[in-house]
Amino acid sequence: MSNFEDNTVNQKFRAVYSYLEKNNLIRGKSDIAKHLGTYNHVINSILKGKRNITVDQLNKLVEKFSINANYLFGCSEDMLAGHGDVPAHLLSELGFEGRRNITLVTQKAVAGYAMQRDNTDFMGGLQKFSIPGYAGGLVAFEISGDSMFPTITNGDIVVCEPLERGEPLRDNNVYVIVTDVVVAKRVQQIKTNDQITQLRLISDNNVMYQPYNVDLEEISQILRVKCRLTQSGIN
């Protein structure tokens, strides 16, 4: 039988509940239950360590009360500091069942994604998961190599939001670029006659890896990096 009382997220939820109640942001268990889309007795059971809080409830907690997801996973002492890097191993260890809106592209599947991302059978066969506070159809890539070290290291997972073609980019921000390969790089936009025609892809490990240019027409997809999952926590 699971020891719900010792679950890190449940412990942090109890602390968040005390904070919200103390600061008059909620009016007891019934009030927070309404915000989280559940019932008074469910909140009472979570607070007493008799059941786990669900991912859907965590999502609502993060969104409605601006709670730091890292705090809930035991990776930050800042309850209200916003979202950041969540250790990847916690996703499976906590055993939560959520909406699974994030498609995981492992290192073995990256080459296939570049060629078959429009293939529903291929995409449907990939693992899916969810993270509190991250909604919408997202794609996570397991990173191989050290070209973006120290920002992104080998084995990290970057969670990304696919962009519509022509959507504005920000120079020097990190994106995942899909051509016949998939890479995570900083980008700079290159214009010809006031039109963006190329992206300059830049590695943070610039001692070992030189920047290079890619024609815009060769790029099939650009994804904005929203957060990074690590095996050891926040660096």
Tokens 């009016």 belong to 27
Residues of the chain with CATH 2.10.109.10: 102-229
pLDDT tens digits, 148-175: 998 898 888 899 999 998 899 999 999 9
Looking at the predicted structure, is the pLDDT value of residue 215 above 70? yes
Contacts of 170 (CB under 8 A, 6+ apart): none
For the stretch 176-205, what's the b/e string if a residue is b when 16 or more beta carbons lie within 10 angstroms of its beta carbon?
A: bbbeeebbbbbbbeeeeeeeeebbebbbbe
What topology does CATH give the domain 102-229? Answer: Umud Fragment, subunit A (2.10.109)
Helix (H, G, I), strand (E, B) or coil at 189: strand
Name the fold adopted by 4-82.
434 Repressor (Amino-terminal Domain) (1.10.260)
HSE (side-chain half, CA atoms, 13 Å) at 187: 25
Condensed to tens digits (0 to 9), the pLDDT of residues 45-104 reads 999 888 888 878 888 888 788 787 778 877 677 787 544 455 555 555 544 445 578 898
Start and end residues for every CATH 1.10.260 domain found in the chain: 4-82
